[in-house]
């Protein structure tokens, strides 16, 4: 069995992933993963949309499983077999926000206890790390903000959604906030925890805005915040 990362959006397939997909005789994946790989799936290849992830253990050795983003970031790489990495939402968010990956800690809150994840994230921030928080649609960034109010200094939260959709010419911008020379993503937002209502005071992240310690609620490669799909699968 081979697990192939297809990236968190169109145009993010690596050459190694493309070769594996083109050589496949049987492919399994979510609808979104299959869509991202569709142009490289060979004629005659058996393509199966995954509906029961528990049944993946019973797939034949020649099966190729498509995993959105990177298979080892809340993806399907934990299932075993050969893993071909992909471009993850973590990588895209770090690039868009200008944060070195070596500064980041990953906390998975998707379909997990949100309170426990917030505690873990707060602990990492206290240790000086930048937290990349994989969330689900039920996660409220205000909960994280509340847990960080006792920390000294200025802490910022960026909510990253639809990271795989590319840069938008007309991203959503609140009318009271200046919009200098565009925004790097359709949904990269930044808000100060010093505001009384951080969840309602989100502003676009711009590459020239200085940043210090920042947390990023993001549920993946399309990954993030409210209304986002589940983590990379």
Per-residue pLDDT tens over the stretch 106-159: 999 988 999 999 999 999 998 989 999 998 888 888 888 888 888 877 788 888
Per-residue pLDDT tens over the stretch 173-228: 333 323 333 433 334 445 444 433 333 333 333 333 233 333 433 332 222 222 23
pLDDT above 80 for 1? yes
Residue 57: what pLDDT? 86
Q: Where are the domains of the chain?
A: 2-87, 90-217
Cα-based angle 192, 195, 197 (whole degrees, multiple of 5): 110
Task: Give buried/exposed letters for 10-23 (b at 16+ CB in 10 A, else e).
Answer: eebbbeebbebbee
Q: Which residue has the higher pLDDT, 136 or 49?
A: 49
At the second CATH level, the architecture of 2-87 is 3-Layer(aba) Sandwich (3.40)
Residue 116: what pLDDT? 95
**Rounded Cα gap, residues 105 and 128, in angstroms:** 10
**Rounded Cα gap, residues 5 and 2, in angstroms:** 10
Residue 6: what pLDDT? 97
φ, ψ of residue 161 in degrees (nearest 5): -130, 150
**What is the pLDDT of the chain when averaged over all its residues?**
76
Residue 229: what pLDDT? 35
Task: Among 4-13, 166-175, 184-193, name the most confident range.
Answer: 4-13
């Amino acid at each position: 069995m081979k697990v192939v990362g297809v990236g968190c959006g169109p145009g993010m397939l690596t050459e190694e992933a493309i070769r594996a997909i083109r050589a496949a005789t049987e492919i399994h994946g979510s609808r979104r993963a299959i869509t991202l790989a569709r142009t490289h799936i060979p004629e005659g290849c058996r393509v199966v949309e995954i509906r029961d992830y528990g049944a993946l253990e019973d797939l034949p050795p020649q099966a190729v499983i498509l995993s959105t983003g990177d298979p080892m970031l809340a993806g399907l790489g934990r299932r075993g077999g050969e893993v071909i990495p992909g471009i993850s939402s973590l990588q895209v968010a770090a690039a868009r926000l200008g944060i070195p990956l070596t500064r980041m800690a990953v906390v998975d809150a998707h379909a997990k206890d949100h309170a426990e994840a917030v505690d873990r994230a707060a602990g990492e921030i206290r240790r000086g790390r930048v937290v990349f928080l994989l969330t689900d649609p039920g996660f409220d960034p205000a909960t994280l903000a509340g847990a960080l109010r006792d920390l000294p200094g200025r802490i910022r939260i960026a909510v990253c959604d639809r990271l795989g959709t590319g840069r938008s010419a007309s991203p959503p911008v609140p009318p009271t906030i200046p919009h200098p020379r565009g925004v790097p993503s359709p949904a990269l937002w930044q808000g100060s925890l010093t505001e009384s209502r951080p969840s309602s005071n989100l502003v676009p992240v711009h590459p020239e805005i200085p940043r210090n310690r920042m947390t990023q609620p993001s549920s993946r490669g399309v990954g993030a915040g409210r209304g986002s799909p589940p983590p990379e699968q």
